[in-house]
Amino acid sequence: MEEHVGQLWHRLITRAAATHYPQAAVELTEISKAVGVLFRALGGDGGLRVEATTATAHGARRTWLHRIAGTHQQVELCWRDAELLRLPARIDWFPKKNLNRDLYLWLAALAAGNIDHSLPWFELNQELTKKTLHRFPGLQPRYERLVEALLALRPELRHLPPDEAAAEQAIQQALRQPGSVAELPAAKRPAQPVPLWLHPSPPINTSSDVTVSDDDATTKQSGSETVDDKRRRRGERTEMPDGNKGLLAFRLESLFSMADYTKVDRCTDDEEDTEAAKKALDDMDMVSVARDNKPAKTSLRFDLDLPAPAYDDTPLGEGILLPEWDYKMQQLRPDYCCLQPMLATTAQPVALPSNLKRTAHHLRRQFEALIPKRVWHKGQQDGSEIDLDAYLLHVTERHSGRVSAERGLYRDFRGGSRDLACLLLADLSLSTDAWVNNKARVIEIIRDSLFLFAESLGATGDQFAMYGFSSRHRSHVRFHTIKTFEQSYDATVRGRIQAIKPGFYTRMGTAIRHASTLLSQQKVSQPLLLLLTDGKPNDLDQYEGRYGVEDTRMALHEARKLGLQPFCVTIDEKASDYLPHIFGTNSYVVIRNPSELPRELPLLYARLTQLT
């Protein structure tokens, strides 16, 4: 009974203390694409991704109702760093949905400006607002509507202490006329948050953490459930708890007791109720992450350590030194990465898997029908027989004294020429060991795709090569040879496709640079560099986030300077957040249903090379 009454009281007091408008809320997921386009169109850094921000404590005065309900302690405000444009996951400040949507667009425009971090928060936001309205006067009506709606929500001056009232009055004046107030009057408490401005003190993590990438994780088991929560969290690295230290915090009636904080191991205590687990996450101001300190069953860790030489693929040569682009220094680091060509040791010649034979037969027939038909080529300098029309014209000109020395007198019966070559580069990182729809692993889908791709191109006679790549630090980028341009597609190549396996990370830029060198050596008019991946660039060192994205982008720029045509095929659902910046808007495709990739990849090649 007490629990039931407590729940009723909680709902009642929370509803009474609510000041936002959930019925008019706009989610970041609804508008992220429009925000990203506007941000970049107004001069914002194209390399920044749009993501949800972190809720932070504001410290401003709360009403007695808010204090009783325990709400309004944190707020989500916009801010920007070298990696991300961070916006609230949800905006419901205003009673009208169009105003909440306008606030998203205004914040994107504000953040696109040149931020001078040396200026105080109050002066900086006024300066940014003034410059944004000056550069884009069309935003003025929208800004005025937002200011009018926000001022109606700000606290009344007569209800505030004198020092807080002076600060609030200065903020309201600065909102009405940006740049008109030189400084913010001092007050004992911080002013109420200003959602039209950038964050006064963004929660930047200064700890010496090592970023854990998506590939550095345990593969999800078949049948597991994933809850995708778009809200960003604050996190910290900590040691794994032992469960033996600390005192229990408790409340006895109205008596509170001081207690030590105890770390709780949630790694092995899976919550079956996902809603309850999500609520528990929402209640945390800081999420602590630690590595499990349980002893491993084996000393050979597939995802972190290199396999023993007896079980590894055969290295070809001593390695190739390649540069890497440092976007912060805006220069290439020469000989910074070592790429190691590899050849599968255990690969044995195999036949095409029986489950692919029917599809492969259908694709081969399609591709054979699309090969340019054999026709008579007349007026040739050399050929299989005399071109009678050209010969009679030659005799006529000879009698008239006008002989063309360039005229060919032969004709030849042959097919049309296709002056092209394709290099397919497949991502073989550890993330490809994940399951898709609880039916197949990504690596199996990639393997089937390579089989059908090779079967289809084998029917056209086009030049093609296939390689795979993964990495573990810049000193060990693995480049797996599956088929070279000089080799024919046969059972040996099929054996290498069958032998591919997932492992390590995704140093994409290094692999692209070497693949570009191999492809540029083929003297053709249409060289196609086809990248097949399931995720974004990452590795153990600083090669993650913006650094990896910018290096990959530079590697593709170098490939285009060599005359190559790069194109990316991905099954990453979040690829639209970063691939347009890396490849460009028309040089990638996202396969929404990964199981369709094996069949779609050859057909995509046909469209790219204008077979259809």
* All domains in the chain, ordered by first residue: 2-176 (no CATH), 234-263+280-294 (no CATH), 320-369+417-608 (3.40.50.410), 374-414 (no CATH)
Kindly state the tokens that stand for 246: 């600390």
Helix (H, G, I), strand (E, B) or coil at 608: helix
Structural element, H or E, at residue 445? helix 442-460
Q: What is the largest CA-CA distance in the chain?
A: 122
Write the CA distances from 246 to 68, 106, 243, 263, 291, integer angstroms: 29, 47, 8, 8, 20
Q: HSE of 202 in the Cβ direction (CA atoms, 13 Å)?
A: 19
Nearest Cα neighbor of 202 from 77, 116, 90 is: 77
Identify the pLDDT of residue 333.
Answer: 95
Q: Considering the entire predicted model, what is its pTM?
A: 0.70
Rounded to whole angstroms, the Cα distance separating 358 from 402 reads 60
Identify the pLDDT of residue 545.
Answer: 87
Query: What residues pair up with 288 in beta bridges, in sequence order?
Result: 236
| Burial class, 554, CB count within 10 angstroms (exposed 0-12 / middle 13-18 / buried 19+) | buried
Kindly state the tokens that stand for 318: 């001593």
Identify the pLDDT of residue 252.
Answer: 39
Identify the pLDDT of residue 269.
Answer: 41
Please identify every stretch of the chain with a pLDDT value under 70, giving residue numbers as ranges. 1-2, 9-10, 17, 204-311, 370-377, 403-407, 413-417, 611-612
Identify the pLDDT of residue 222.
Answer: 44
List phi, psi (to 5°) of 594: -55, -30
Sign for the CA dihedral angle at 208, 213, 219, 225 comes to positive
- DSSP strand pairing (410-414 vs 375-380): antiparallel
| Burial class, 500, CB count within 10 angstroms (exposed 0-12 / middle 13-18 / buried 19+) | buried
Kindly state the tokens that stand for 352: 């095409």
Rounded to whole angstroms, the Cα distance separating 135 from 114 reads 12
Cβ atoms of 474 and 543 closer than 8 Å:
yes
> In degrees, to the nearest 5, what angle opens at C-alpha 145 toward C-alphas 139 and 151?
130
Identify the pLDDT of residue 92.
Answer: 93
Rounded to whole angstroms, the Cα distance separating 140 from 129 reads 10
Write the CA distances from 405 to 272, 397, 411, 445, integer angstroms: 86, 11, 17, 58
Rounded to whole angstroms, the Cα distance separating 404 from 407 reads 6
Cα 389 from chain centroid (whole Å): 61
Alpha helices in 329-376 (DSSP H): 354-370
* DSSP string over 141-162: HHHHHHHHHHHTTSPPGGGS-H
CB-based contacts of 553, cutoff 8 Å, min separation 6: 47, 581, 582
Structural element, H or E, at residue 547? helix 546-561
- Which stretches does DSSP call E strand in 308-400? 314-315, 320-326, 331-343, 375-380, 385-386
Rounded to whole angstroms, the Cα distance separating 434 from 191 reads 48
* DSSP string over 120-141: -HHHHHHHHHHHHHHH-GGGHH
